Structure formats: C-alpha cells, structure tokens
Structure 1
Amino acid sequence: MLNRKFWFGLCVTLGLILTLNTPAIWSRSLLPSKLTREIRGVWITNVDSDVLFTRDRLATAIKDLRQLNFNTIYPVVWNWGYTTYPSKVAKRLVGSSLMPKKSAGILINRKLTKTEGLEGRDVLKEMVTQGHKQGIAVIPWFEFGLMLPGTSDPAGSDFAKLHPDWLTQKQDGGTLWKEGKDPRVWLNPFKPEVKKFIVDLVVEVVRKYDVDGIQFDDHFGLPSEFGYDKFTVDLYKREHQGKLPPTDSKNEEWINWRADKITNLMRELFVAVKAVNPKAIVSISPNPQGYAKSAFLQDWAKWERQGLVEELLIQVYRDKLETFIGELNKSEVKLASLHIPVGIGILTGVKPKPISMQQIQSQIAAVRKQGLAGVSFFFYESLWKLTNEPAATRKDGFRRVFAQTVARSTIIK
C-alpha cells in the first residue's frame, strides 16, 4: 500500500497543475501600482568569500542586508561534493558530514587561521536564526546540483572516487567537463541511487531546519554532451526498441528524452519537499530557457507549466542593457510570470570582473518596468567589495533602489 506521504505529495502536485490551468493566480495585473512586494535577494557562497566562516562576520552581514532593505538570502548548502551544514546523508555517502577545513581554505584562497571555519558550527542554523530575527527569508541553495569537482581538483571531495559508477559519460567514455578552467564531473540523474541521494539531501534540509524553501540553479541539469554511459544507453535502448542514442548530442529527440527524465526527478523532489513542509518554496535559478535546455537539458519552462516551481529567478548576466531587456521579454518569462513570482538574477561582480552600480541600478529599473517580481544578486561579496567603487558608495546605491522595506513576493500564503 502506498504511504500517506506519497498521496499527500501527489495531491499537492495535481492541485498545482490544475491551478495553473485556471485563470492566473500570479499576474502583473494583480500587483498594486505602488510597490509593496518584491524579491530582494542575494546569493551567499563560500567561493571568493569568507562571510560564512565566522559567526560575527555572518551576523553582521545579515544585519547590513536588513538595514539596506534586502528580504531574502540564498545561502549555499551543497557544493564541491560537500555540505556546508552537518549532514547525516553526506556522512553516510561521502564519509564527511561537513565540508573539511582544508577544502574551505582552498575555496576562499586564504588560510583559515583567523576564522572558525565551518567545523564545530551549524552555519545554516545560524543563518536561519539570524535571518528570521531580522525578517529575512532563508532559502538554501544547492549550488552544485548534479555537478561535482573532478578528482584532480585540489579543492574537490572524494565523492567521485567513492562512487565512480554514479558518474555519467561522454561518447568517448570521458567523465571530465570544464567549467572555465575547473574540471568537473556529473552525477547521472537517471540512476536510482543518484536520485535517492539528491532527494534525501534536500529532504534533510527541509526537515531539519526552519527554512523558507530550497533552490536549485543551472547545475541541476546535465551538459548535453553527457548521457552515453552504459546505464543510460541501456535505458534508452529499452525505451526505443533496441536503438542506440543518437551520436549527435544535440539531436532534438535525444535532448527531449534526457530533459524529460530530469523533469521526472524535479517532480520527485517537489513531492518530497511538500510532503515534509507544504509551505517550503521550491525555487530555481536557471539560465534563460533556450540555453538551459539545449546546453544543460534543463527544461524549466515545462517544470513551471507542470506546477513544479513556485519561484523563478532567471540568471541574466548581461552587460548590454538592450540584451538584458531582450531576455526579460521572452515569451516563456511572460508566461511564467502569470503563474508564479518571476525575478531576475543580476550580476554585481565577480573577482576578475567588477560591475558598476550604475549598471546594477539600470537593470533593477528594467526588471521593475517589466512588472517582474524582483531581483537577486550574484553574489554577496561583490555587493560592496570586489569592486572599484567605495563600499559607502555601493551601499548608498542599494539604499536608493531599496528605499523602503517591502515584503518578498511569494506564492505561498
């Protein structure tokens, strides 16, 4: 007999799908003319940033964000093959319940002699406590999704070494993929044990912490070059009368078949999250739809149409304002915004590339002009650091665009 959690999750999913086929429940036309709700978020990571590594620094950062009228943080909880919170799931499968100090030190490119690191702490619990105290929503971000560091990466984990059969392959049998200069490998989302690991990890966070939701980004997918491992090929053959997958990794049917399998995993996650906490927001922050699907088999427009997404933050990291606005005008963006809060991810800078406050402000204005639900910035350290402008100038710039406190846009009541 199927258990109660399964039926509950199924009812939630079917309910949302039916809702999306009725008149719009989230529409720009329903928003008041005066801005009273808006997502004002920021991603907090452990790469090129040490904000997570001491209690005091983290508490100060959250207070600063509140004073500047931010209302959401998306803190990393899974990257480099480790969790940033004490995890029984990770301990069981990786042998470590928390990102080791040596790996954290490599990530921020400095020694941790003056920090407490993550050891002996529950940094996610601290963020939930401090965030809620300041009226800020905390939505943990599973940054690496299905991606792992390559085994040769000095900052990497032992995950890929411990579970080599969990990795998918390219046509030549290789497992490595380059993200910039960094070697990466990818978990096979078609294997039951991989799906179980991802679901268990997410459920652990939602059950253990009083979080406001969870979020996946562009790494919750698979580069289209992958899927040629024996397990996936055999699965494809069973469903295609013995035919092999196309040698063209961009073949439309082959793209759709793999993308639909990842959609099925997204459905499992949605049902599992809702069974634990119906009010936990399922949020995603992908690339624009065309690229997301063709390059990473991530058909988020279908996820949204099937009621599997409750908040969408599209990464539109473009310098030219005309190009930026063009992405906001895409039909799939407009369609999604009729059903759920749709915000835009804005780049505030990365270590080798500072972004001016003028560009940030013009992009925020464009998002508001389109009637979208808000913005989130990548990433915390470049809000007023990693920039050519004084910190005071940057903070004043955010103070101007976020002049008043507002509640965050949300579909969850």
Structure 2
Amino acid sequence: MREFRAAWIPTVGNSCWPSKPTLSVAEQKAELIALLDRAAALKLNAVVFQVRPACDALYRSDIEPWSEYLTGAQGKAPSPLYDPLEFAVAEAHKRGLELHAWFNPYRARHFNAKSPVAANHVSRTRPELVRTYGRYLWLDPGEPAVQDYSLRVVLDVVKRYDIDAVHFDDYFYPYEEKGPDGKELPFPDDVSWQRHGAKSGLSRNDWRRRNVDTFIQRVNQAVHAEKPWMKFGLSPFGIWRPGHPPTIKGYDPYEKLYADARKWLVEGWCDYMAPQLYWAIDPPAQSYPVLLKWWAENNPQRRHLWPGINSLKVGDGPTGWKPSEIVRQIELARDITPAAPGVIHWSHSALMKNTDLQLALGREAYRQPALPPAYPWLPNRAPGKPTAKLTVKGQQGTLTWTPAPTGEAFRWVVQVREAGDWKTQILPRGQMALRFETLPEAVAVQGVDRNGHAGPAVVLQKGR
C-alpha cells in the first residue's frame, strides 16, 4: 500500500515537544523517543518536526540562537550539549520514519515567549528587518534581505542535516492583530513598500503576494539545487478563498495573509501540499471532502495532496469528534486522491494522549503498513536487487540480506507468503535480518529509495 502518514510535532510554546522548558537533556530525549515510538507503532511513515518557531533554533546554529523552548532562556544551549535535530533525524530514521524539518519563515518572536531576546537574535543583529506587530515580532517579507536571511537559515539545515524535506505551514504575512481599541492593526511595512513596492506597478496587496510567491519559488529552487532528491512541502490555510468552491465561507488567506496557495500548487512550486482541512465531513456545504475535492481539481502538476486533519478535535469536550471522523477522513483522502493518498495529523499530541483514537487508527485506518507515494518528478535512485539468504534451523529460519552496490535503500519491503497469503513488512534501512519461527513458503525483499522508488526484489522459495 502507498500512503503518506504523518503528524506534526510543534515545539512553539512547548505545545508538544519538549513538554516544558525545564526538562533535562535525558528527559527531552526520552520524550522524543516516545513520540517516535508511537509514530512507528501506529504505522506512520513520517513526522513533521518544528525546528525554527520564531527565528530561533532547535539545533546547533551559527545564525540564530538556541530556542527558549529547549532551556527556558533564548540563546542558552542544552547541557550537556546535544543537537535535538540531529538526534531526532537519527532516531526517526532508525524507525523507518522520514523527518520533515518545519520552519516558520517570518515569525521572529511569539507572544508566549518569556525569556529576554538573545544577543544573536535577528531583532538585535538586523533590527532593520524586523517589525513589531501587535504581540509579535515579524520579519518584513517586503524586504529582499529578509528573503535572503530566511533562505540562508533553511539552506544551512538542508546542507548540514540528513532531513527528508523542508516544510512551511500557514504563517506568511501574520494573522491580524488588534489594537487596544479592538480594531485590526495594519502590518507596518510602509518603509519596505516605499522602498521596493510603490513604484512596482502593483497594488500593495498584490505586491505583498508577490513577495511571498517569490520566496516560495526561491526556496523550492534552492532546496532542489542543493539536494535534488529533497522534498519541499507547504501547508497553507485550508481555504484558498471564500467562494472557492461556491459554498465555502470564512477566512480569506489570499487577502489577509497574502498567500496565493492555489498558485503555488498550479505552478508546482512544492512537492506536496497539505492544506489544513480542519473541518468535519458534515455539514456538506463547508466540509472536509468539498474542500479536498476542490484542491484536487486545482492540481494540474499532480503534486502530492495530503490534507492536514484535526485529530486534536477527537474527544475535545461536548463538541469534540468521535474517532470515526478521523478514520472516515483518511478513507475519503484515499477515495479523492487515490493515486497518492495521505494525511498529516494535527498534532502528534492527539496520537499520544487519545487512547480511543489510537485504537481506531490501529484497528481500522492503519492496520497495514504503507510506503509513502513515490515522487515521479524527483530523481529516481531506486536500489539494485539485494542478495538474500535464508538460514534454516529445524522449522525456524533467519533471513538476511545485503544491499546491492547500486542505489541506497531508505527502507526495505519484505513480503512473506504463508498458507498462500502474502504479508508485508516495511523495515528501516538499518535492519537487514528477520527471524521466522516457522519457515515461510516464500519471501521477497526489495529496497526503496527515500523518494519512494522501489528497486527489483530478490525472491527466495522454501525448499529451493
């Protein structure tokens, strides 16, 4: 089976990991391992891990300060020193999970930040790039130097870490803040507008959209230039614009966030898009399937379309959903995008805390393991045929295999035939042995590269 199965792991505000900024390094590692163990146990195949919440870093960086969400003080390194992103990548890959590094490209300080700003934070090193907006600090997307700065941050991680993808969510220009009088505050970009936009021939709103478009396009090009196999994913607000399709009402990120997500999808400026479809299946006018079908109809480049779904809504008080809602949403994604289905759960906390949801996923939606869909437009580095040996001892056996000299497997697919039925296991690249209590009738082993391209299988049959 092919299906993308992922969950977001937010770090901002200690909302998922680490659970609080006072944890020891050992406790941080234990929490992260528990998250990844749960993802693997539920047969997910990826996690989306937030590494840059607000111009800070959950990794060793020479550009931005350590995040306060790690240690309680921005700029303070974990002690004993370790690199959370390096650790997360290694532990995810041990479990056959992809790790998508999630960046917030423009937010410079969150309203829930408690510690003083570090000396090497961009608001102190490059204050001309930063705007105060309501309760936030925000990089001004209208300044070309902001694009250069955030792109430098992204590429630093792409170059130094074995991540599988770069990921942005829905924060571009900020969601509206209100002043003391309750009125919406304008974003304070008069300086950049006069310097870069006023003579562009565009309206201010169109100029803002172009700023975001240009940055998205630059990141897509730069990531693939550095590592052609790496994925770039976007997770915008779930509605492109009210009235698209006609029954849809509500927030307009095109006008408010200056995010033209349909354009990004139409142009193919990402490898997957995960619109945040946090609505229920019913009522039908403003619903998950109506929106997902609309996005699928506006995908001429056939990029992967994996909706974000609101798993935290399950059991959330009197208006909460039943687990069956999430199972049905997963099934609808399979029906609406059958060639390459998938979803991303918001957030991993729901998969840790909600036992009913865990049981529903394990017994219904995710009974069988799944490989992520392949990316036909990215390089095909499918591994060659491995060599395999089945060592027999009585009625038991041990299967071992060795990679081919060509290509590199990111995962192994092992298919086992017993009583005429084939069963599939998906194993991480470091596991190249499997023990059987009773000898199977046949086994097949094939490698799969990190973009889902499968190589030829070696097949062993009992008694041959």
TM-score (norm 2): 0.66
Is 1:281 the counterpart of 2:247? The answer is no
Whether the 8 Å contact between 1:84 and 1:99 is mirrored in structure 2 is no
Tell me the alpha carbon deviations over residues 127-165 of structure 1, each in whole angstroms, 9 at most, x when there is no partner: 2111112111111111x3211325794257454641432
- Counterpart of 2:16? 49
Deviation at 1:186, TM superposition (A): 1.9
Q: Residues 118 and 409 of structure 1: is their aligned pair in 2 closer, same or farther, counting only changes over 3 Å?
A: farther
Is 1:258 the counterpart of 2:227? The answer is no
Tell me the alpha carbon deviations over residues 96-155 of structure 1, each in whole angstroms, 9 at most, x when there is no partner: 2454645379xxxxxxxxxx968622111112111112111111111x321132579425
- Counterpart of 1:329? 293
Whether the 8 Å contact between 1:346 and 1:376 is mirrored in structure 2 is yes
Question: Aligned AA for 1:44?
Answer: I
Q: Residues 88 and 117 of structure 1: is their aligned pair in 2 closer, same or farther, counting only changes over 3 Å?
A: closer
Deviation at 1:228, TM superposition (A): 3.4
Whether the 8 Å contact between 2:108 and 2:130 is mirrored in structure 1 is no
Deviation at 1:306, TM superposition (A): 2.4
Whether the 8 Å contact between 2:71 and 2:78 is mirrored in structure 1 is no
Q: Distance in 1 between matches of 2:351 and 2:10?
A: 13
- Counterpart of 1:208? 160
How much identity, in percent, do the aligned residues show?
A: 19
Q: Residues 212 and 202 of structure 1: is their aligned pair in 2 closer, same or farther, counting only changes over 3 Å?
A: same
- Counterpart of 2:413? none
- Counterpart of 1:131? 92
Question: Aligned AA for 1:49?
Answer: C
- Say which of 294, 306, 313 aligns to 1:343: 306
The unaligned stretches of length 5 or more in structure 2 are: 20-26, 177-185, 242-251, 381-464
Tell me the alpha carbon deviations over residues 315-344 of structure 1, each in whole angstroms, 9 at most, x when there is no partner: 0111353312221122x4322275111010
Whether the 8 Å contact between 2:58 and 2:85 is mirrored in structure 1 is yes
- Counterpart of 1:63? 37
Whether the 8 Å contact between 2:108 and 2:123 is mirrored in structure 1 is no
- Counterpart of 1:185? 137
Q: Distance in 1 between matches of 2:196 and 2:91?
A: 47
Deviation at 1:293, TM superposition (A): 1.5
- Counterpart of 1:78? 52
- Say which of 371, 380, 384 aligns to 1:407: 371
Question: Aligned AA for 1:48?
Answer: S
- Counterpart of 1:166? 129
Is 1:398 the counterpart of 2:358? The answer is no
Provide the alpha-carbon RMSD of the alignment. 2.8
SS of 1:339's partner is: coil
Deviation at 1:394, TM superposition (A): 2.6
Question: Aligned AA for 1:199?
Answer: L
In terms of fraction of residues, the more strand-rich structure is 2
- Counterpart of 1:365? 331
SS of 1:315's partner is: coil
Q: Residues 67 and 151 of structure 1: is their aligned pair in 2 closer, same or farther, counting only changes over 3 Å?
A: closer
Q: Distance in 2 between matches of 1:102 and 1:209?
A: 22
SS of 1:75's partner is: strand
Mean Cα deviation higher: 258-267 or 365-374: 365-374
Deviation at 1:60, TM superposition (A): 2.9
SS of 1:376's partner is: strand
The unaligned stretches of length 5 or more in structure 1 are: 1-35, 91-95, 106-115, 169-174, 178-182, 246-252
- Counterpart of 2:401? none
- Counterpart of 1:37? 2
Q: Distance in 2 between matches of 1:228 and 1:50?
A: 33
Mean Cα deviation higher: 154-163 or 353-362: 154-163
SS of 1:139's partner is: strand
- Counterpart of 1:8? none
Deviation at 1:227, TM superposition (A): 5.7
Is 1:310 the counterpart of 2:271? The answer is yes
Question: Aligned AA for 2:55?
Answer: G
Whether the 8 Å contact between 1:87 and 1:98 is mirrored in structure 2 is no
- The higher radius of gyration belongs to 2
TM-score (norm 1): 0.73
Q: Distance in 2 between matches of 1:344 and 1:87?
A: 31
SS of 1:83's partner is: coil
Tell me the alpha carbon deviations over residues 165-215 of structure 1, each in whole angstroms, 9 at most, x when there is no partner: 2134xxxxxx324xxxxx223211221321111111110111111111100
Q: Distance in 2 between matches of 1:379 and 1:221?
A: 23
Whether the 8 Å contact between 1:51 and 1:61 is mirrored in structure 2 is no
- Counterpart of 2:108? 148
SS of 1:375's partner is: strand
Q: Distance in 2 between matches of 1:270 and 1:324?
A: 28
- Counterpart of 1:379? 347
- Counterpart of 2:61? 87
Q: Distance in 1 between matches of 2:193 and 2:275?
A: 29
Whether the 8 Å contact between 1:42 and 1:379 is mirrored in structure 2 is yes
Q: Distance in 2 between matches of 1:204 and 1:276?
A: 10
Whether the 8 Å contact between 2:265 and 2:298 is mirrored in structure 1 is no
Q: Distance in 1 between matches of 2:67 and 2:114?
A: 17
Deviation at 1:355, TM superposition (A): 4.6
